Chain A
Amino acid sequence: MATAVVPPGISLREIGTAGRGVRPDEVVLALSPGFAGFFTKTIVDIPHAEVVRQILAGVEEQGVHARVVQLHATADLAAVAHTGARLSGSGIGIGVLSRGTTMIHQKDLPRLSSLELFPQSPLMTPEIYRAIGRNAAQYAKGDSPQPVPTLNDQMARPRWQAKAALLHLKECELLVKGAPATEVDPVIEDPA
């Protein structure tokens, strides 16, 4: 399935099948099948290395532990995020699709609900990814973070929908039916 291309800046070293965490101070970052593999950047060309780095930095700054898993059986954002939440010791998970769409989820919520949803992938920035990591970690600690302001651009849909649909189809081609989520160690090059 995956390609041999090593994306610049990030590689996901596979550790094994992802298990359920027991640490209450843990947030799970769940990545879609093509993340940092077939795809290397989001719909607006933010490198996947930067996305993961900023989310993990946001979590770390709060003194919370992060674990990264990659899904192979689904590319649906709610399913990705909810799987991450159910694997997380704190019950808080972050799901990210290759094109950049993101969601913070909690294990007790219905799958199609969410704590915070960032539906318009073209409007995402590294600062928003940092804030998402920060908020997820604060939920895990039992704090009451102010939700990250979500942007809305009326023109995002007509401008980007076709590209988003193509990216989604491409990602769906990578699906492996029934494959379990794998735990990965993200190896990220720091900027000089």
Chain B
Amino acid sequence: MSLVVGVDIGNSTTEACAARLTGNGIEFLGSGLVPTTGTKGTTANVDGVEAAVRAALRTTRAPLGELARVFVNEATPVISGLAMETITETLITESTMIGHDPRTPGGAGLGVGITVPFAALDECSPGEAVIAVVPAGVDFAVAAKGLEAALERGVGLRGAVLGNDDAVLVANRISRVIPIVDEVRLVDAVPAGMTAAVEVASPGRTIRTLSNAYGIAGLFSLDADQTRAISPVARALTGIRSAVVVRTPSGEVSDRRIPAGTLELRGGSAVLRIDVGEGAEAIMAAVGRVAPLDDASGEAGTNVGGMTAAVKQNMADVCGLEVAQVRIGDLLAVDTFVPQEVRGGLAGEVALENAVALATMVRTSHGPMRQVARAIAERLRREGAPDVEVVIGGVEAEMATRGALTTPGTDRPLVVLDLGGGSTDAALAGADGTVTTVHLAGAGDLVTRLIASELGVERDVAENVKRSPLARAESFFHLRLEDGTVRFFGEPLPPTVFARVVALTEQGLVPIPTRHSVDRVRDVRRTAKQRVFVVNALRALARVAPYRDLRQIGFVVLLGGSALDFEIPELIADALAPYGIVCGTGNVRGSEGPRNAVASGLVLAQGGP
């Protein structure tokens, strides 16, 4: 009878499983789970391993001194890298338009006139059609008085552009309803003496004329060529409540594609080059054509080049290899968008620019696991387990399938999908006992990154959005949950969550600092998970399935941290349903949920028959 512990060092967590090996079988005692210390596969892991072993033994009260053997897995060191590059850029030249959608424009309608600075309004003659441009220093009462005086003199005041957030205040203080656009930060840069159009839609509606190329053409009497030139202006102004367009001699809005660099994909049979600017779909199609991927590299001197070089350098440092020996084994590209301030804008306009996110995964054949094992043995002996032996117990994927098969209701052929932080790993345990594995780039970290960039929030906020369902605190006593139901509270909610979108985390309600609605945040969250986990699940299954036929797979067991997510398992199960696959979250040893599969598998492999 001997006390053994199986230890699985993962990218983000280190798990342990303690058991007693007796003559007639294995008696499982307890489990431990702690954060991994250092990069997976390095001697910095020892602290985490010690903590995990202690945690596993603590649940059973077995003394450390009795410990006979520790099994660690032969991990393929998989390092993932993430990078995101915008591939489009919106530019406004010569202050042609203002389309920043202030929350409270004033008045309503459409007005066309010549731009006149507020100070020069007195000099306008009656009957002249003008658009007043009021600088930020002018008080709302003063501005309203000045505009009203001009109206009384008979000046054809058709609209106003304000620097301050005063549009409703001014509109309430003048006798005629004119469209007023406010919060124009660089109002001083609006050119004077030019024909301009101001449009404000009534609440709940969006502008109709300035967002239509022919509408602008009609207002400014443009010919066909000029209309073609201003059509990006109209496109940039769709979906907003207020806008200003100034006709300048050569101003324009352009939608420019930034050269993001080319990726060179080297496969077994072919080498393909693809421009990152072509988007995720084109990149993934190319990855599919060269599969299996041997290596990828970016064009030197471009963003992609810098990113691939950094991933390789990091991996080389970890393994003590030459950079030239490191190969990128897989790559996942995802289309996304990043809100970015428009260059040349006068009011801090924000445009959603297209971007491509790349997750890469690097693997080498031999990790320095022996060193790690030796370091663990030294540490545990010093800490009071004099007879301990540390054994490299087997390949991670094999161990994971062994552990996963302890889930009640499973059988071979079975695929383990390990949804981790950095990579998505799949292993097929065939009916004949063979194990086929694949490691794919892109998992939880990429989802967090997509959520953070699309909502424009910090990483820790994005992490909360990813992990928890949403709600909105509509009063101090009730929450409207994201599915539309209401939850009431007897005690008032904390003031920090009042009127905010909140994440229902295990630690309680966490406010999400965003202007977006619950529906919008939920949509971003779910599509991010779709684009990473569902895409990768299908990719992984196709790679390990016999004859690449998903119907040959009977069972899919989801493991890893992301399998604990409240919706990822559902999303994947929905996507796999058409193939007749039984898919669900694993329950290792019938008690551990999707955790501890590899650690349990290590013990089973050693002590089992």
Question: Smallest CB–CB gap between A176 and chain B, Å?
Answer: 31
List the A side residues contacting B475 at CB < 8 Å.
108
Query: A115 contacts the other chain (Cβ, under 8 Å)?
Result: yes
Judge whether A115 and B168 touch: CB under 8 Å: no
Chain B, range 460-499, C-beta contacts under 8 Å to A: 472, 474-477, 492, 495, 498-499
Query: A174 contacts the other chain (Cβ, under 8 Å)?
Result: no
List the A side residues contacting B472 at CB < 8 Å.
144
Query: B565 contacts the other chain (Cβ, under 8 Å)?
Result: no
Judge whether A143 and B499 touch: CB under 8 Å: yes
Judge whether A192 and B142 touch: CB under 8 Å: yes
Closest residue of B by beta carbon distance from A137: B104
Given the known A-B contacts A142-B474, A191-B142, are A62 and B168 also in contact in the complex, defined by CB atoms under 8 Å? yes
Closest residue of A by beta carbon distance from B203: A63
Give the complex CA separation of A94 and B492 in angstroms.
20
Question: Smallest CB–CB gap between A70 and chain B, Å?
Answer: 23
Query: B501 contacts the other chain (Cβ, under 8 Å)?
Result: yes
List the B side residues contacting A60 at CB < 8 Å.
168-169, 172
Query: B515 contacts the other chain (Cβ, under 8 Å)?
Result: yes
Interface string of B492-514 (1 = CB under 8 A from A): 10010011110000000000010
Give the complex CA separation of A106 and B475 in angstroms.
10
Closest residue of B by beta carbon distance from A139: B499
Closest residue of A by beta carbon distance from B475: A108
Query: A173 contacts the other chain (Cβ, under 8 Å)?
Result: no
Query: B330 contacts the other chain (Cβ, under 8 Å)?
Result: no
Interface string of B160-187 (1 = CB under 8 A from A): 0000011111001000000000000000
Judge whether A57 and B140 touch: CB under 8 Å: yes
Given the known A-B contacts A61-B104, A146-B513, are A113 and B477 also in contact in the complex, defined by CB atoms under 8 Å? no
Judge whether B474 and A109 touch: CB under 8 Å: no
Interface string of A111-132 (1 = CB under 8 A from B): 0011100000000000000100
Query: B141 contacts the other chain (Cβ, under 8 Å)?
Result: yes
Judge whether A61 and B168 touch: CB under 8 Å: yes
Overall SS of chain A's interface: loop
Give the complex CA separation of A110 and B493 in angstroms.
11
Judge whether B498 and A115 touch: CB under 8 Å: yes
Judge whether A106 and B501 touch: CB under 8 Å: no
Question: Smallest CB–CB gap between B202 and chain A, Å?
Answer: 12
Given the known A-B contacts A108-B475, A144-B500, are A114 and B495 also in contact in the complex, defined by CB atoms under 8 Å? yes
Question: Smallest CB–CB gap between B489 and chain A, Å?
Answer: 11
Interface centre among B140, B168, B499 (most CB of A within 10 A): B499
Given the known A-B contacts A63-B104, A115-B498, are A108 and B476 also in contact in the complex, defined by CB atoms under 8 Å? yes
Judge whether B166 and A61 touch: CB under 8 Å: yes
Query: B66 contacts the other chain (Cβ, under 8 Å)?
Result: no
Closest residue of B by beta carbon distance from A191: B139
Judge whether B169 and A57 touch: CB under 8 Å: yes
Chain A, range 122-177, C-beta contacts under 8 Å to B: 130, 134, 139, 142-146
Closest residue of A by beta carbon distance from B476: A108
Closest residue of A by beta carbon distance from B516: A144
Query: A190 contacts the other chain (Cβ, under 8 Å)?
Result: yes
Question: Smallest CB–CB gap between B169 and chain A, Å?
Answer: 5
List the A side residues contacting B167 at CB < 8 Å.
61
List the A side residues contacting B515 at CB < 8 Å.
144, 146
List the B side residues contacting A109 at CB < 8 Å.
476, 492, 495
Closest residue of B by beta carbon distance from A134: B165
List the A side residues contacting B145 at CB < 8 Å.
190
The 9 A-B pairs of least Cβ separation, nearest first, read: A190-B141, A108-B476, A61-B168, A144-B500, A144-B499, A115-B495, A191-B139, A61-B169, A61-B104
Question: What are 17 pairs between A and B in contact, CB < 8 Å?
Answer: A57-B140, A57-B166, A60-B168, A61-B104, A61-B165, A61-B166, A62-B168, A63-B104, A63-B168, A109-B495, A130-B165, A139-B498, A144-B500, A144-B515, A146-B513, A190-B139, A191-B141
Given A113-B495, A143-B499, A191-B141, 19 more A-B residue pairs with CB atoms under 8 Å apart are A57-B166, A61-B165, A61-B166, A62-B168, A63-B104, A63-B168, A110-B492, A114-B495, A115-B498, A139-B498, A139-B499, A142-B499, A144-B472, A144-B499, A144-B515, A146-B515, A190-B141, A191-B142, A192-B142
